[in-house]
């Protein structure tokens, strides 16, 4: 069994999270500049067996796609072109950034660390991945 890789794609940074090989636990992986994401993915996928990639899909409260989808769609199109054999799943990412910010605050990190947007992106990807895993197992 391979890992599941989650991507919280942003215009500046990309938060990444990954499961263990048994797909039981979601862990923060990295934050990468958007322009470097495909180089990072190429290197990572050469080293690790990944069963699928989950990409956060931004939605509004009324379940409509948010305006940031104009950046996500081209990214996913290129992702499918670069990795044609890899299953790619789009998954609702509503509230992941707010939940990540709250988790960082609850952890008692200093203000300087709480303002680290890269940390928030990694945590958002981890929350996205955990939510996806729960949805697959029926846990909500």
pLDDT of residue 135: 85
Q: How many domains does the chain have?
A: 1
Q: What's the pLDDT at 50?
A: 97
Which two three-digit tokens encode residue 89? 């799943």
Q: What is the CATH number of the domain that holds 88?
A: 3.30.420.140
Structure confidence at residue 131 (pLDDT):
86
Q: How far apart are CA 135 and CA 14, in angstroms?
A: 23
pLDDT of 119? 65
Q: What is the pLDDT of residue 92?
A: 83
What is the distance between the alpha carbons of residues 46 and 69, in angstroms, rounded to a whole number?
A: 28
Averages of pLDDT over runs of 10 residues in the chain (140 residues) are: 94 95 94 96 97 88 73 94 96 65 57 60 87 75
Range of the domain at 106: 3-137
pLDDT value of position 111: 60
How confident is the model at residue 22, as a pLDDT? 93
User: Which residue in the block uniquely carries the two structure tokens 């499918």?
Assistant: 80
């Amino acid at each position: 069994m391979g890992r599941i890789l989650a991507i919280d794609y942003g215009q500046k940074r990309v938060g990444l999270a990954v499961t263990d090989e048994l797909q039981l636990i979601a862990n923060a992986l990295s934050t990468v500049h958007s322009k470097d994401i495909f180089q990072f993915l190429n290197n990572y996928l050469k080293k690790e067996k990944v069963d699928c990639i989950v990409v956060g899909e931004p939605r509004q409260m009324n379940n409509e796609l948010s305006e940031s989808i104009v950046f996500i769609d081209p990214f996913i199109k290129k992702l499918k072109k670069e990795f044609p054999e890899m299953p790619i799943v789009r998954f609702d990412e509503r509230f992941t950034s707010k939940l990540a910010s709250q988790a960082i605050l609850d952890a008692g990190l200093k203000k300087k660390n709480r303002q680290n947007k890269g940390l928030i992106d990694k945590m958002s990807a981890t929350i996205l991945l955990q939510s996806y895993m729960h949805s697959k197992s029926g846990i909500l």
